[in-house]
Amino acid sequence: MTGELLEAGSGLARSIFDAMPSPIFLVDEDVRILGYNLAAGDLLSAGRTVVLQQRGGEALHCIHSEETPWGCGSAPACSDCVIRNSVSEAYRGGKTWRKLAQMQWKKPDGSAVVVQVLVTATPLRHADATLVLLALEDVSELMQLKRLVPICAHCRKIRDDDEYWQRVDVYFKRTLDINFTHGICPDCVEGLKAEMRSAVVSPRPGE
């Protein structure tokens, strides 16, 4: 499975590659793109003929790739780049390398977006050459759950980033598209039964 095979556009290798839901790139040691799947294509504003042979930061519009004339890998911040370092570790160590990172990408309109990305770099040997499969999974929504969520100690509503208080089910539906079913737990059932028994037994005022 070389870059030429993946770019041939047919066969089992291409079909498997394109079936992956996360953006995946085939890169060399310098993070130069040799191939990519359909999900990765959604991140790119340029066509395939332009993207191929670009470095990852240039193709993904990393804000640091434009800080020097030499592009991706040459800016001071590039020494700490999780993508570049993960590819290097996978290339040298011969095993899969996974790392969570916060990244800043520049959209085609020039605005910057910050995303939480799970980077997976897997070495691939073919024809005496080592390449790396680089997968980028956006886990921004999942990472939001790891932060402290302000919740009312009395009614259990959650305060969102816009300072609005919402029911727990409404909050998770809006932020993560999670639907809830509703029921009553055993403890609450017993509590309701006790309240009902008390209401039946206790005389009304004036009786």
Regions of the chain short of the pLDDT cut 70: 1-10, 105-110, 141-148, 175-177, 200-207
Q: What is the pLDDT of residue 5?
A: 47
8 Å CB contact between 127 and 112: no
- Chain-centre distance for alpha carbon 110: 21
Please choose, from the candidates 34, 27, 24, the residue with its C-alpha nearest in 3D space to the C-alpha of residue 3.
34
What are the structure tokens assigned to 73, written together? 């890998």
Alpha helices in the chain (DSSP H): 3-6, 11-19, 38-41, 48-51, 56-59, 82-93, 140-144, 168-176, 186-201
Q: What was the pLDDT predicted at 1?
A: 43
Q: Which tens digit of pLDDT belongs to each residue from 63-84?
A: 888 888 888 888 898 888 888 9
21-44 confidence digits (pLDDT tens): 888 998 999 999 988 888 888 777
Looking at residue 152, the DSSP 8-state letter turns out to be -
Domains, in order of start, for the chain: 3-143 (3.30.450.20), 148-199 (no CATH)
Three-state DSSP class for 131? strand
- In angstroms, the Cα distances linking 54 to 36, 63, 97, 164 are 12, 15, 22, 44
Buried b / exposed e along 152-174 (16+ C-beta atoms within 10 A): eeeeebbeeeeeeebeeeebbee
pLDDT for position 120: 92
Q: How far is CA 117 from CA 74, 136, 139, 141, 186, in A?
A: 22, 6, 6, 10, 40
Identify the pLDDT of residue 122.
92
